[in-house]
């Protein structure tokens, strides 16, 4: 029996088999969570997607890490750009399905304008937000989130009150207030876990409302705490 001929026949069939899934590369794709893997076609598309939306901060997530990534989304973002958490399965489908791709890119196009508009509407409250982001569920629906540092909202009011003190205050009191502001500035830069609050919404308008409500509540809690110091 000519075994070489049989081997060549199977090799020929395999080479022409278009139903086989494209091989996935095991490599890094910039910022990622877990060990995502993309085919060469999907990898090329993902690089194009990041360039197209260069004002966004993409993080590629492996399928087995989706829940963990979403639960800790606030750790990865910043208040300078919009964080986009997206898993490798969606990128793979976007690379091969034109309608699926158009749907998701349409959401990203809208987010570009909505994000800038919401930050403008937040005004000074935007200073209390540590990170903004968006993510997608398996049905193609987008949701949005923001991580708020409650201490920043309270700090802003305290600093303003210190600046409004009468010039007649003692020099020692002014120096103490200045040191306190400096310490709070250091804390605000790094943030404490207990001060972080994540709010989620299904629309930009809802996210705007929740951010404003959370910041207002933080300031209200600060005023109440100050009043409590005078009791007794």
- pLDDT tens by residue, 155-200: 655 544 554 455 555 565 666 666 665 555 544 444 566 778 889 9
Average pLDDT over residues 145-164: 65
First to last CA, the chain: 102
Distances (CA, A) of 217 to 150, 211, 226: 9, 10, 14
Per the DSSP assignment, residues forming a β-bridge with 59 are: 85
Reported as a single tens digit per residue, the pLDDT across 66-103 is 888 887 877 888 888 999 999 999 999 999 999 999 99
How would you classify the pairing of strands 142-149 and 129-136?
antiparallel
Q: Which long-range contacts (CB under 8 A, 24 or more apart) does 115-124 make?
A: 115/82, 115/204, 117/204, 118/204, 118/207, 118/208, 121/208, 122/208, 122/211, 122/212, 124/156
Question: Does residue 127 surpass a pLDDT of 70?
Answer: yes
Model confidence at 58: pLDDT above 70: yes
135, 143 in Cβ contact below 8 A? yes
Residues 6+ apart with CB under 8 A from 215: 125, 128, 148, 153
Strands (E), the chain: 24-25, 32-33, 38-39, 56-61, 82-87, 129-136, 142-149, 196-201
- pLDDT at residue 154 in the model: 58
Residue showing tokens 């409590």: 228
């Amino acid at each position: 029996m000519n075994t070489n001929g049989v081997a060549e026949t199977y090799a020929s069939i395999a080479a022409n088999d278009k139903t086989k899934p494209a091989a996935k590369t095991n490599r890094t794709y910039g910022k990622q969570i877990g060990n995502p893997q993309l085919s060469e076609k999907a990898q090329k598309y993902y690089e194009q997607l990041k360039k197209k939306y260069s004002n966004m901060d993409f993080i590629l997530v492996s399928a087995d890490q989706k829940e963990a990534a979403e639960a800790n989304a606030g750790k990865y973002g910043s208040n300078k750009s919009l964080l986009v958490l997206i898993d490798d399965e969606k990128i793979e489908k976007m690379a091969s399905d034109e309608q699926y791709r158009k749907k998701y890119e349409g959401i990203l196009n809208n987010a570009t304008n909505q994000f800038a508009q919401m930050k403008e509407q937040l005004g000074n409250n935007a200073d209390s937000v540590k990170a903004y982001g968006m993510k997608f569920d398996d049905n193609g629906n987008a949701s949005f989130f923001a991580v708020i540092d409650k201490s920043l909202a309270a700090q802003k009011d305290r600093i303003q009150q210190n600046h409004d003190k009468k010039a007649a205050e003692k020099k020692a009191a002014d120096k103490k207030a200045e040191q306190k502001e400096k310490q709070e500035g250091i804390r605000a830069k790094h943030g404490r876990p207990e001060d972080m609050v994540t709010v989620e919404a299904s629309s930009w308008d809802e996210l705007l409302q929740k951010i404003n409500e959370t910041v207002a509540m933080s300031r209200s809690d600060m005023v109440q705490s100050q009043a409590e110091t005078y009791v007794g």
